[in-house]
Amino acid sequence: MELRIPLSREDIEPLRSGDVVRLHGVLYTARDAAHARMKQALERGEPLPFDPEGQVIYYTGPAPAKPGHPIGPAGPTTASRMDPYAPLLIERGLRGMVGKGVRSREVVEAMRRHGCVYFGAVEGTAALLAKCVREAEVVAYEDLGAEAVRRLLVEDFPAVVINDLHGGDLYREGRERWRRR
């Protein structure tokens, strides 16, 4: 399934856990330190580095780019570390998150209520995923290095739906299906 970002609620409504998708458009990178700063910005009434409405955040801290490459290896990091912050962005219209690992109940509930899906990218395929990035630029918090907020223009970025809007959870379903004890 092809998905063009920005995404509307209608775009993500039909998605079901386990669906394989290809993402096209802009992904914003943000991880631990960037999320902490975005939370501070909201608390102070300052603007976020980007408007979350319709956007997708990719939890990654890329390695440095080799000369001639737009970005270095960039695979997903553990999403649960961003759980304390995710609802703040979901409430403001965030439509997708790309990462790896399970999300908290609070995050899944916020996703369902406001319309946001969680995609898994295969961790440890950083060299392959970087090949989907056409352009990359730092848009905020440059001092955070690998943790800065970057705007990535991606094509054919492979992901799978982990948590959909209907209670589906690929991690839970996959495990139940293959459990032998």
Partner 1 sequence: MREVRVEEVTAAVRDACIEANVSLGVDHLAALRRALERERSPQGREVLEKLLENARVAREERVAFCQDTGYAVFFVEVGQEVHFTGGSLPEAIDEGVRRGYREGYLRKSIVKSPVERINTGDNTPATVYYEIVPGEALRFTVLIKGAGCDNMSALRMLTPAEGVEGMKRFVVETVERAGPNASPPVTVGVGIGGPFERAALLAKKALTRRSGEPNPDPAMAGLEREILEEINATGIGPAGYGGTETAIAVHIESAPTHIAAFPVAVNLDCHSHRTLSFEL
Comparison of 42 and 63: residue with beta carbon closer to partner 1: 63
Least gap, CB of 22 to partner 1 (angstroms): 14
Beta strands in the chain (DSSP E): 2-4, 20-29, 56-58, 96-99, 117-120, 133-140, 149-163
Comparison of 50 and 171: residue with beta carbon closer to partner 1: 171
Least gap, CB of 51 to partner 1 (angstroms): 26
C-beta of residue 150 within 8 angstroms of C-beta of residue 30: no
Tokens of 88: 């703040």
Tokens of 127: 């060299």
Residue from 21, 38, 48, 130 touching partner 1 (CB under 8 A): that is 130
Task: State which H helix or E strand residue 23 sits in.
Answer: strand 20-29
Residue with tokens 């998708």: 21
Least gap, CB of 142 to partner 1 (angstroms): 13
| Torsion of Cα atoms, 93 then 96 then 97 then 102, to 10° | 100
- What region, left, alpha or beta, does residue 101 occupy, with left being phi > 0 and alpha being psi -120 to 50 degrees? left
State yes or no: residue 44 binds partner 1 (CB under 8 A).
Answer: no
State yes or no: residue 68 binds partner 1 (CB under 8 A).
Answer: no
Least gap, CB of 180 to partner 1 (angstroms): 4
- Residue span 146-165 as binding mask against partner 1, x where in contact by CB under 8 A, dash where not: x-------------x-----
Least gap, CB of 174 to partner 1 (angstroms): 2
Sign of CA dihedral 100, 157, 91, 46: positive
Which residues bind to partner 1, rule: CB under 8 A? 18, 33, 60-66, 69, 72-75, 77-78, 80, 100-102, 120, 122-128, 130-131, 145-146, 160, 170-171, 173-181
